[in-house]
Homo-oligomer: A and B are copies of this chain.
Amino acid sequence: MTSDTQALKMPPVASTANVRLEAALRHKLDHKTKPLGSLGKLEQLALQLGLIQQRTTIELLQPQVVVFAADHGLTDEGVSAYPQAVTVQMVLNMLQGGAAVNVLARQHGFGMTVVDAGVASAIPDAPALPSHAPTLLLRKIGFGTRNMARGPAMTGHQTLAALSAGMDVVSHLAGNVVAFGEMGIGNTSSASLLLARLCGVPLDDAVGRGTGLNDEQLDHKLRVLFEVTRKHRDAKTPLAALTAMGGFEIAMMAGAMVQAASERRVILVDGFIAGAAALLARGLRSHCADYMVFTHRSAEVGHKLMLIHLQARPLLDLEMRLGEGSGALVAWPLVQSAALLLNEMASFESAGVSQASATQPAHDLPASA
């Protein structure tokens, strides 16, 4: 894979580490009119945002959500509760504004782009689209991946093309915040396989019910995926694992994340599938992680372990398992809150509020305190 990696032109991603700025951000947070640390995770988030933007006042501009859609040849093996046709049907639903991600994008004023990364059919012309329809980008790498139970899901060339397309998509986006979502019947299988391979998680712990398998169907999925890991046991690097067991939407999202990080955008990482792309992006450019806000813990069983491997403490745990970027968008107002609280809250000095005696050394306290 070394030659492949070299063939891929991928931008550098800088670390956000900045000791002086971090101290300035902590000082600003600690002098707001509130008990020290009392905004909890929102303070850690404000700190991360400040480091991403390298400033002590945050500006979040024109947030975007990009949904990558693709199909998986593995669905031939009966690993999903839904037929493959649902992928293109849901793309049309998104173009017409009816999916969960549309509702949430409208609620929060996100620009929305749907990318055909490799849906198994052509996207038919949709009937009269609403005025605020998402942008559709046709970046199809293939008509679905091949059935990875029989051979690699994609060729090395397709992997690189997908990563490049993802980079290109992001490079043309407005704003400085981007949420990534996906739609692809069968893609929890890919994400589980990547988690197992890249993090050394036992496959049993990485595989879940996806869109809603019953016990019998879950057993079957697990048997199929065991065969897939055996078949591709030599695919060990991120790129090799992606080629053998990935999906076009996952590859494209991974490239998109690298590009977003290279441009210092805030990356809102959705659930289990987006998490697999995050693992890959981090594998390709380690500092990508600095730019990622992990928005929620999915109900998909492997996500908990995936988040541990990503060293991520997600903002929400709402037992969601929908994909599309829905979790990222539900969490977005919390990111805004973190920024606004850092930007706008008064300080003890400016508001004339007394500070805690607890911040004094203990020997200065009155005996009764």
Which A residues are closer than 8 A to B by beta carbons? 32-42, 77-78, 81-83, 85-86, 89-90, 92-93, 96, 98-100, 102-104, 106-108, 211-214, 216-217, 220, 299, 315-322, 326, 330, 332-334, 336-337, 340-341, 344-346, 350-358, 362, 365-366, 368-369
Cα A161 to Cα B35 in complex, Å, equals 31
Nearest Cβ distance between residue A300 and chain B, in whole angstroms? 10
Contact B33 A90 (CB under 8 A): yes
Nearest Cβ distance between residue A294 and chain B, in whole angstroms? 13
Contact A353 B86 (CB under 8 A): yes
Contact A352 B92 (CB under 8 A): yes
Which residues does chain B contribute within 8 Å of A78, judged by CB atoms?
A: 366, 368-369
Cα A345 to Cα B96 in complex, Å, equals 11
Considering only CB atoms, which chain B residue lies closest to A336 in the complex? B107
Residue from B35, B93, B100, B321 in contact with A211 in the complex, judged by beta carbons closer than 8 Å: B35
Nearest Cβ distance between residue A362 and chain B, in whole angstroms? 6
20 contacts between A and B (CB under 8 A): A34-B100, A34-B322, A35-B81, A35-B211, A39-B322, A41-B319, A42-B330, A77-B368, A81-B356, A82-B356, A82-B357, A98-B345, A98-B346, A98-B351, A100-B341, A103-B340, A103-B341, A106-B340, A107-B333, A220-B369
Nearest Cβ distance between residue A188 and chain B, in whole angstroms? 11
Contact A340 B92 (CB under 8 A): no
Cα A38 to Cα B210 in complex, Å, equals 10
Nearest Cβ distance between residue A137 and chain B, in whole angstroms? 21
Cα A225 to Cα B173 in complex, Å, equals 58
Which residues does chain B contribute within 8 Å of A356, judged by CB atoms?
A: 81-82, 211-212
Using known A-B contacts A82-B357, A357-B81, determine if residue A98 contacts B366 with beta carbons closer than 8 Å. no
Nearest Cβ distance between residue A97 and chain B, in whole angstroms? 8
Residue from B82, B107, B320, B358 in contact with A354 in the complex, judged by beta carbons closer than 8 Å: B82
Nearest Cβ distance between residue A345 and chain B, in whole angstroms? 6
Using known A-B contacts A93-B351, A337-B107, determine if residue A358 contacts B214 with beta carbons closer than 8 Å. yes
